[in-house]
Amino acid sequence: MKVLFIGGTGIISTAVSKITMERGIDLYILNRGHRNDKVPEDAKVLVGDIYNPDQVREVLKGHFFDAIVQWISFTVEHVTRDYNLFKDFTKQYVFISSASAYHKPLPFLPVTEEVPLGNKYWQYSENKKKCEEYLLSFRDPKFHVTIIRPSHTYNEEMLIAQLNSPEKPYTLIDRMQKNKPIILPDDGQSLWTLTFNQDFASAFVDVLGNPKTYDNFYHLTGEKVYTWEQLNKAICDAVGVKPNVVFIPTDTILEYFPEFKGELYGDKKDNTIFDNSKIKEVAPHWVSQTEYSDIVKLAVKRFLENPELQIVDEEFNKRYDALIEKYQKQTN
């Protein structure tokens, strides 16, 4: 089987690339050539900019793929471009959507693919919904669409938290080491599903070139579910400190961190559990075996052993501490 990845050096796609090669699939990766240290040694790299369709069309000349996986399309304009660009080069186009696109608040649990799409809180999710609608609106017998919706997929470098500096994640560890309070929205007891990237990859590879998945859609998530308080404790355990938590209502948090409204109200605030029955029907290799408490030890070790990663977001900390101070004054 011959497969092309557009992108292929992200959190999810690097794990998928590895298992794809292990399965003996002939893997090509199209990117701009900037991060090829993350590309498997035997994968074939095609250098091109997806935002330059004429250039890509020239690079792909003479190739035909059993599947093309698009890891980096986020708008209708992107997938419209992809259809026009790739329809002559593959019979299966795999679009990476997002489980965050499901209607919020969720109408029932566990989440199945019967839940309608529609997330009014997060533009990223709404854009994914519109991409799906476009891709499923036409039926081209020579160009089949498969849609995959991941949910909070992580690797061995990530700290999982509802509120942390996105650019300087070590900020969370620094606060823990200094015994500064860590904010958890509401009561910290809402349930959250995590997916380790290698677990995701074990199922995803079964989608490639699989006619059973043509013109269909699936979420692909882990089955490891935690409260946010448990996730915070897992990080504390890895750092070697006891949890020091302050619970603050989400609405109060957003007064100081309005940029988190999409992520919290649109994704991480309420219980989110998934039923993976549909993807299991087409992915016999699917597993969900990895615990975050095991992986976070590797993430913390990486931060502690690499001084260049130990950067604290002082502006974020200033807002964080001001929020705690205000809330404690109001409630004491």
pLDDT digits (tens, 9 = 90+) for 257-291: 999 999 999 999 999 999 999 999 999 989 899 99
Least confident range from 44-48, 108-112, 158-162, 293-297: namely 44-48
Average pLDDT over residues 146-169: 97
Ramachandran assignment for 120, one of left (phi > 0), alpha (psi -120 to 50 degrees), beta (any other): alpha
Q: Which fold has domain 170-194+223-331?
A: UDP-galactose 4-epimerase; domain 1 (3.90.25)
pLDDT digits (tens, 9 = 90+) for 50-74: 999 999 999 999 999 999 999 999 9
CATH architecture of 2-153+196-220: 3-Layer(aba) Sandwich (3.40)
Give the span between the Cα atoms of 269 and 250, in whole angstroms: 8
Give the span between the Cα atoms of 164 and 182, in whole angstroms: 9
Residue type, 11: I
- Exposure letters 6-19 (e unless 16+ CB within 10 A, then b): bbbbbebbbbbbbb
Give the span between the Cα atoms of 92 and 265, in whole angstroms: 34
Can 2-153+196-220 and 170-194+223-331 be said to share one CATH topology? no
Residue 37 above 80 pLDDT? no
pLDDT band at residue 332 using 50, 70 and 90 as cut-offs = confident
pLDDT digits (tens, 9 = 90+) for 216-232: 999 999 999 999 999 99
Give the span between the Cα atoms of 161 and 166, in whole angstroms: 10
pLDDT band at residue 35 using 50, 70 and 90 as cut-offs = low
DSSP state of 213: G
Reference 70, options 153, 147, 151; nearest CA is 147
The pLDDT, as a whole number, for residue 134 is: 96
pLDDT digits (tens, 9 = 90+) for 129-144: 999 999 999 888 999 9
Q: Indicate the domain borders of the chain.
A: 2-153+196-220, 170-194+223-331
Give the span between the Cα atoms of 97 and 119, in whole angstroms: 13
